[in-house]
Amino acid sequence: MRILRTIAYALTLPIVLVAVWWLASAGSTSVFWPPLSRIVGVFGETWTADRWRGDVLPSLARLTAGYLIALAGGVLLGVVIGLYRPVRAFCEPTLEFFRAVPPPVLVPVIALFLGYTGDASKIVTIALGCLWPILLNTVEGVRGLDEVMLDTARSYRFSAWTRLRQVVLRGASPQIVAGARQALSIGVILMVISELFGANRGLGASIVQFQRSFAVPQMWTGIILLGMLGFLLSVLFRLVEHYSLAWYRGLREADRGA
C-alpha cells in the first residue's frame, strides 16, 4: 500500500502537466508550438531502432565514460586533498578558480585541441564538468571525518587500505554521493551541449538538426526523450544510493530514536 501511495504521489504532477499541455496545445496552429498529440504521433517514427543505435546509445556511452572518469578522479583527488592539510592549502585557490568557470565555456576550447567530431572532446568535456562537484564534496566529506575515529583506526593498526575503505570512504560517502548526484545532472547537460559543436551524431546533434530543418515536432520529441532519459538516470542513481547508503539511513534513524 505504501509503495502504491508513493507511486501515485510521484506520477500525479507529471500526469497533470501532460494533461494541461495536451489541452492547451490542442488547437494550436503555431509552427513552433505544435499540438502535443502531433508530437506523440511522430515520436515512434522519429526514434526508430536505427536512430537509437546511431544517436541515443552513443550519447549515453559518452556520458557514462565521462561520468565514471570524473567519479574516479574526483574521489581519488578529493581523498588526498581532504586528508593532507598542506596539499589542501596548495590546491584550494586553484580549485576555487576552476570551480567558478562554467563548464560550457570550456566546450569550444576543448574541441579546438581534441577536435569537434570525435568522442574524445565530448568525453573530456563531460568529465571536467562532472569532476568539480564530486571533488569538492569529497574534500568536504573527508575534512569532516571525526579525528578520534581516524586515530582509533591507527591505534588498532589497521592497514592503510582498510582505513581508506572502512573509515575514510565510508565516513565521507554521504557527501560523495551528494556530489555524484549533482554531477549526473551536469553530465546530462554537457552531453547535449558538447554535441552542439560540429557533431553529426548524438541526441543533442539530432535536436539541433531537427531545429535547423524546421522539423519542429521531431525537435520536441528529442527534448521529451532527453527529459525521460534524465528521469530514468535519476531513478537508477536513487536505487544505487538507496542500497549503498542503507547503513547511513539506519544510523540516522537510530540517532533519532535515541
Instruction: For residue range 16-42, list pLDDT tens digits in order.
Output: 998 999 999 888 888 888 999 999 999
Long-range contacts from 56-62, C-beta under 8 angstroms, 24+ separation: 56/203, 56/225, 56/229, 58/119, 58/201, 58/202, 59/191, 59/192, 59/195, 59/202, 59/203, 59/204, 60/229, 62/119, 62/122, 62/123, 62/126, 62/191, 62/194, 62/202
Average pLDDT, the chain: 87
Note the pLDDT of residue 11: 80
Whether the pLDDT of residue 15 is over 80: the answer is yes
The pLDDT tens digits of the residues spanning 199-252 come to: 678 898 899 889 888 899 999 999 999 999 999 999 899 989 888 888 777 767
Domain regions of the chain by residue span: 47-257
Q: Considering the entire predicted model, what is its pTM?
A: 0.89
Compute the residue count for the chain: 258
Return the CATH fold of 47-257. MetI-like fold (1.10.3720)
Note the pLDDT of residue 98: 80
Q: Is 226 left (phi over 0), alpha (psi -120 to 50) or beta?
A: alpha
What are the cell numbers at 114?
Answer: 581534441
The pLDDT tens digits of the residues spanning 158-211 come to: 888 888 888 888 888 999 999 999 999 999 999 998 887 766 788 988 998 898
